[in-house]
Amino acid sequence: MTIQTAHVRIVEVGPRDGLQNICDQVPTSTKVELIRRLRETGLRTIELTSVVSPRAIPQLADCREVMDHALVKTLLQNETGGLRFPVLVPNVKGLDIAMKCGVKEIAVFISATEGFSKANINCSVEDGIARASDVAGLATKAGVAVRGYVSCIFADPYDGPTPEGAVLHCTRSLLDAGCYEVSLGDTTGIGSPSNVHSLIKYLISNGIPLEKLAGHFHDTYGQAVANVWEAYTCGMRVFDSSVGGLGGCPFAPGAKGNVASEDLVYMFHNAGIHTGVDLPKLVEVGDWISRTLSMTNSSRAGTALSVKDNLANSPSTPAKPPRQVSRQWTVLAQPQGLQLHRGGTNLKITRNRPKGDDRRAERARVRRRGAGVCVRYSSLRARRRVRSERD
């Protein structure tokens, strides 16, 4: 398919989706600082948190503190000119809390499969659609924008492969409920570019507007960046990602983190596609949050660019000459023609041959010894000849 536009919108989900699976509690101050640093990179859509039960997601128990923080309040009040700071809400109660905190955009979520729906929100797919539709309807009436998520678009960790028809049904339901955009989530990270191509073609052929779709790819099988590029070539222009590749789903065993924001920005910039993101600053944020959380930075591009930058900025120092080690050798034994030496933990064997004048003297002694043998041999022959003549 022909690429018609050369720009994309990155939806940064690190502060919510990236942190929710971490067991150790991340301080609220760290979460707010992460949001601040991400905004300074030029990212214009940052998902702040999720208003969920602390029993279900303990990591996000401080959602109110995050939304009520002075810095976040300032961001929410200045949410104009394309800036978006959505908050994920599971139900009407969560919507009320978010709206009281001044949130102007929310996200609702459903699963395309029964197994994950039961594990994640403890209801069937149809009940999940009804619940999300109620939240979306109330939010729309209150002037709050609504974004939708469909999970497990390719496979369910409990039920196996997902039928494309199930994804179509969920996507259409969310759009009908008032969502301005639906993000298609490969929650298990099992999809490959061929799966992406097939699903997008299927949705378009069944009347789903491409401009209403976004991609949300996890990197469990190392396919996330390739999947994003395939979706882009199919015409998709909005992609979710997480700085440093943070993420994972507590209800999808084995699922790895989201595609790294640094990897997406690096790929798009090298293709001449505008993201509006300052890549060096984004790399710094990935390094910082990975160190702060004592986690490995999962962004390949971020890690490589960070190492390259550190090497470029480190002062050059002359190479040190090899250290000269003086070693004392002690003769341990002198078998015939050899010498065994020891120096510390090292052993060496040398041939014990005469040198210089000693070698010449040795050769002379050998010659004299040989000459003596010849003389004695000649005398013996003479005596035998004399005896023979006498006889």
Q: Which residues are catalytic?
A: 249
Query: Which token pair is 315?
Result: 């002062």
Torsion of CA 282, 285, 291, 295, to 10 degrees: -60
